[in-house]
Amino acid sequence: NLTGKTAVVTGSTSGIGLAYARAFASAGANVVINGMGAPADIEKERAAIESDYKVEAIHSPADMTKPAEIAEMIALGENTFGSVDILVNNAGIQFVSPIEEFPIEKWDAIIAINLSSAFHGIRAVVPGMKKRGWGRIINTASAHSLVASPFKSAYVSAKHGIAGLTKTVALEVATHKITCNCISPGYVWTPLVEKQIPDTMKARNLTKEQVINDVLLQAQPTKEFVTSEQVAALALFLCGDEAAQITGTNLSIDGGWTAA
């Protein structure tokens, strides 16, 4: 039960992030959602969380490439609700290209959004968590924090970095009743996956069906996509007292991908 607690979830206007926000709200937490999108769509999701779960939900427009805006997002949660008890660093983008053609600005954006934003968020949230003596930090890593795929140099680098950041933070906050873990999904059917299909078709010279079956689901022995709700349920478990001794781990939820 997360009643009285506040969760900030970055990149929660879509996909896995939205599922996390809804899961925490279903357990009674107030939530700060964050991310891009059409204002009317964001407002619809925000209002739905409030009416479905009888909690308060606000949106922070913080851009995860801007350290000052990330600190403002944490302050917004603390000033609105009195604390930020759960931080999920989830915002992420993908770009698929051979390394010799990989646009430099895409590399910089992926490192900023998928890796550095977690550093800035954790840096801002830890003082309050230490003061209150409780906290949960969850980072969305990826199967690509454990293994690589060709043409995803920036993403794989950022996700391996997230796995290292997770372990480091877990050690630093271990005696403060704050845990820090990362969750590593395999392929989840979200806009992030859908949008990379055209570039993967081009990079590998395949049809859409071949990309889905021979590249994406090929990686997962179960031959099924993971769902956002399954990922969110794991995050919710990590917020409970039962998970107080789970820290510094990288939890795979990937249909067996990284067992192979």
Residues designated as active site: 155
CB of 65 to ligand NAD, least distance (A): 5
DSSP string, 156-191: HHHHHHHHHHHHHHHHHHGGGTEEEEEEEE--B-SH
Which residue's CB is nearer to ligand NAD, number 5 or number 159? 159
The CB-of-99 to ligand NAD minimum distance in angstroms stands at 19
* Sequence-separated (6 or more) residues with CB below 8 Å from residue 120: 67, 70, 71
Nearer to ligand NAD, 15 or 67 (CB): 15
The Cα–Cα gap between 159 and 124 comes to: 21
Q: How far apart are CA 230 and CA 23, in angstroms?
A: 10
The 8-class DSSP code of residue 155 comes to: H
Extract the tokens encoding 87.
């931080």
Shortest reach from residue 55's CB to ligand NAD, in Å: 19
DSSP SS3 for 87: strand
CB of 4 to ligand NAD, least distance (A): 26
Question: For the chain, where are the E strands, in sequence order?
Answer: 6-9, 30-34, 57-60, 86-89, 135-140, 178-185, 250-253
**Least distance (Å) between residue 133 CB and ligand NAD:** 29
Which pair of structure tokens corresponds to residue 169? 């933070």
Nearer to ligand NAD, 4 or 214 (CB): 214
CB of 12 to ligand NAD, least distance (A): 6
* Closer residue to ligand NAD, CB minimum distance, 123 or 176: 123
Nearer to ligand NAD, 34 or 83 (CB): 34
* Lookup result for tokens 């964050």: 34
CA distance 119 to 157: 15
How far is CA 85 from each of CA 51, 134, 137, 259, rounded to the nearest angstrom? 22, 7, 8, 33
Nearer to ligand NAD, 35 or 135 (CB): 35
Q: Which residues bind ligand NAD (CB under 6 A)?
A: 11-17, 34-37, 63-65, 90-93, 113-114, 140, 142, 185, 187-188, 190-193
